Amino acid sequence: MSDVINLQATFIPNEGEFFRVKLALEIAIEQVVEETGCIRYEITQESEEKIVLTEQWASEEDLTRHSKGIAVQDLNESLSALLAEPVKLDRS
């Protein structure tokens, strides 16, 4: 049996873009929580300078499927001009 995968994704909005970034994440969350293997996918920290999304996946296979899925593609497209730097992923 696979070990559960824990991730934190940190998003740094461009100045003045916090609410647009948060809205894009909220839309993605609604889709992703329905994906196979998604245990947790929620915003756990937010400020004008940073939004942290905490993820938990049942397996590496589920995370891989998620990372190639339409929700992530749509999110990346929505955020392409809204972030000050690339998303930082930390695995624990």
Tens of pLDDT, residues 25-47: 999 999 999 999 999 999 999 99
Phi, psi of 10, rounded to the nearest 5 degrees: -110, 125
* Residue listed under structure tokens 């400020």: 47
In this model, does residue 91 exceed pLDDT 70? yes
Confidence of residue 92 (pLDDT cuts 50, 70, 90): confident
- Residue 36: the pLDDT is 96
- Residue 2: the pLDDT is 62
